[in-house]
Structure formats: structure tokens, C-alpha cells
Amino acid sequence: MKDTRKAWARRIAVLMLAVAAAAGSTTAVADAAPKSPSRHSVTKRVTARIPLAIAVAKAKEAAPRTVNDDPPPECDEQVQLAVTAGYTDNVLTDTVSHYDGQVYCAPANDLQTMRHLSDNAQLAVGSNIVDQGPVGECSHEPGQTGQCLWVDSASEHDCLAGTACAGEYQAANYYTELLPDGWIWVQVPSNCQSLGDEEIICRDFTQPIIGVSPIYS
């Protein structure tokens, strides 16, 4: 009888050891299971607004004035950029850039207008232009009805090249302004160049530059 009890005790002890070993093995497998990658994103935005004082224009002498002697409207320019950088386990995987430029000339009445406006927004990473939006345009020739007061250019750019998407992001806005018939530029804004007496071409950039790092810290 005592031998039988000892045999059962040994059997129970062996079973308990086997259960404990199995539990340890399960825990080890659970600890070895891969963890889900950590994903997060960072968004940075910047906007630049440039007032363009139209007081630098004056009436052209002995020229036909077809806008009822109204001076050109005052114009403002804006360019903006938003960059969202995606990281997995703190390593850059992608970026999405939204950028747009616009020129708006606020009229004092229903007769004020520009003769022509154009706008083209571009995205640069470092010294390279990587994308550009469609050109926005409007025009108002002498004798036409309506007004030419507002143009814009906008686009979105995706980079899926991982850490190669890192760099310095900046949006640029290139635009032209043609004064109404009978007006000329007498002083060209510092960010512009003359295309003749009546038209200028300008460019502006978002500041500060948005830096995207390959490693999130």
C-alpha cells in the first residue's frame, strides 16, 4: 500500500513538472511574438502673405483710359504649405505636402480690375522643384464686362520613398500682374521684375523652411 501511494505521488510530481514546463514554454512563445509597429505622423504648416501696394502704378500720359479713370485695385499675394510626415518605429516612411498660392486684388468698386493675372505654385525639396500646381489665370480686355481680380494654383504631392523623403520643404509662388489699359508701373516691388511698363512677374516663398527628419526624435 505504501509503495502504491509513493508511486502515485511520484506520478503527480512528474505531471506537475510537465504542466509547469508547458506553461513556461507558452510564456516564452508569447514573449517572442513580434510587436505591432508603432505608427504616428507629424504635420507642420507655414503661410506667407505679401501685400503688393498698387500705389507704385500711375496713369500713363496721353493713353486711352478704358476703366472710367479708376486706378487698379490693391493686390495681396499668399503662398502656404502643409507637410505631414509619417513615421513607423520612429523611421520616416512617407510625406504628404499640400501647397497653394493665390493673388487677390480687392476692388473698391465694380469697375476696378486687372487686365491679366496668372499664378503658379511650386513645391521644392532642397534645391529641387519636385512638383507644381496648374497655372491659374484670368483676364479682362478693354471693352469686356466683368473683372479679373483673383487667381490661384494648388496641388498635393506624395513621397513614398521612406527616408529619401527627408529634407527641407518650401513652397514657391510665381505670378504675373498686368495693369489695366492706361496704367504703368513706376516702381517695381523688390520681389518682382518688369516685363514692360504695364506688367511684372514676381515670386515669393514660404518661410520658415519646413525640415523633415529621417528619424523622429
pLDDT of residue 19: 45
Domain that holds residue 25: 1-33
- Do 94 and 194 belong together in one domain? yes
Residue 217 domain-assigned (yes or no): no
pLDDT for position 57:
57
What's the domain count of the chain? 2
pLDDT of residue 66: 44
Regarding whether 192 and 95 lie in a shared domain, the answer is: yes
Residue among 97, 94, 83, 86 nearest 157 (CA): 97
Are residues 99 and 11 both part of a single domain? no
Closest CA to 91 of 127, 42, 45, 157: 42
What does the pLDDT profile of the chain (217 residues) look like in tens digits? 545 555 545 554 544 545 455 545 444 444 555 667 788 899 999 888 776 654 455 655 544 444 445 678 888 999 999 999 999 999 999 999 999 999 999 888 888 899 999 999 999 999 999 999 999 999 998 778 889 999 999 999 999 999 999 999 999 999 999 998 888 888 888 889 999 889 999 999 999 999 999 999 8
Q: Based on the domain organization, do 98 and 15 belong to the same domain?
A: no
Q: Are residues 18 and 89 in the same domain?
A: no
- DSSP letter for each residue of 85-151: EEEETTEEEEEEEEEEEEEEEE-SSSS---SEEEEEEEEEETTEEEEEPPPEEEE--TT--S---EE
* pLDDT for residue 206: 94
Q: Are residues 7 and 63 in the same domain?
A: no
Model pLDDT, residue 60: 56
The label of the residue with cell 520681389 reads 191
Instruction: Report the CATH number at residue 103.
Output: 2.60.40
In a domain, 48, yes or no: yes
Nine-digit cell string for 187? 516702381
74 has which bridge partners?
106
d(CA 177, CA 160): 37
